[in-house]
Amino acid sequence: MFCRRSTGEGGADAGVPVVLKYPAAWQVAGDWVRKAGMGYATLQIAYEGPLARVTLNRPEIRNAFNDEMLADLRSAFAAIREVADLRVVVLTGAGRAFCAGADLHWMRRVRDYTYEENYADSLGLAKMLHEIYTCPKPVIGRINGAAIGGGTGLVAVCDIAIAAEEAVFAFSETKLGLTPAAISPYLLKRMGEGNLRECFLTGARFTAPQAVELGLLNAAVPAVDLDAAVAEKAAAILTGGPEALAVSKALIRGIAERSLEENGPYTAEVIARLRMSAEGQEGMAAFLGKRKPTWVAPVSPEDEAS
């Protein structure tokens, strides 16, 4: 059902799209598809059936972010969360890097900011990361190259992060007399305190396989296999009920914010509501009737053959 277009010598170059073959029943129609990707100077947005692909599009400076990219990302993910037909998001970078952190031109401006301007600027980064982290659609990070500084924060807010083995990572802020503050809550969730202490304090670069061991990544694969690995995860996600996936994401956040005593009533309420929902009723009926639920699109003979 899902396949990878040959990348040739480009490997993990994000200029080659993830190619997903999906039945016509999954095709997303409407003017919003053509309009939603417009108006973002720093991003490219493509729609492939139930999948939205968001590409950081400043390859000439290794997709370093500035205030404009932060605003674009926040706006794009706010729009994506409202589109019922979209069920998976892939976040990646154009060119050879995923995200090199902060744009040097932006940093030059920041040097002259007042405290109030610095606070507002940093809060904008925090709000963007929170928008992606709380997106009800599962977000897969297609980490096609280096992620440095704030770029690692974009990796951390993805639900699943898969990188090309050649990618490198670093928290370089302390070498600049700074600290990776805004991204730290999400990195702590992924990597744990012990790993984060070493990485923050040394600022040392580490490889994609090491990032898997540290918990920042879910997997590291050869560059030529990156699209196939992402497509495989997207296919697995699309077998789940859209509401159940969104609720599961919220559940993971919710239980972390509550005590064990509070989690009993909280989790009971969550599952009781899902069991009574139209999606839950359909899912249980499909299981008992030994058929596929309605959200799993029927596969044509042509799809099976491919």
Does 22 have pLDDT greater than 70? no
**Average confidence (pLDDT) over 40-66:** 95
Domain 242-305 sits in CATH 1.10.12.10: yes
For residue 17, give the 3-state DSSP assignment.
coil
Confidence class of residue 23 from pLDDT cuts 50, 70 and 90? very low
Question: Domain 8-237 falls in which CATH fold?
Answer: 2-enoyl-CoA Hydratase; Chain A, domain 1 (3.90.226)
70-119 confidence digits (pLDDT tens) = 999 999 999 999 998 999 999 999 999 999 999 988 889 989 999 999 99
Q: What is the pLDDT of residue 304?
A: 52
Among candidate residues 27, 39, 147, the one with its CA nearest the CA of residue 87 = 27
Confidence class of residue 273 from pLDDT cuts 50, 70 and 90? very high
Angle, alpha carbons 141-296-90 (nearest 5°): 15
220 within 8 A of 211, measured Cβ to Cβ: yes
| Residues carrying an active site annotation | 173
Residue boundaries of the structural domains of the chain: 8-237, 242-305
Q: What is the pLDDT of residue 12?
A: 55
> CA 137 → CA 149, 241, 249, 250, distances in Å?
25, 11, 9, 11
> CA 302 → CA 3, 159, 231, 277, distances in Å?
13, 31, 18, 34
134-163 confidence digits (pLDDT tens) = 999 999 999 999 999 999 999 999 999 999
Confidence class of residue 2 from pLDDT cuts 50, 70 and 90? very low
Q: What is the dihedral of CA 251, 254, 260, 266, to 10 degrees?
A: -70
Does 3 have pLDDT greater than 90? no
**Average confidence (pLDDT) over 235-243:** 96
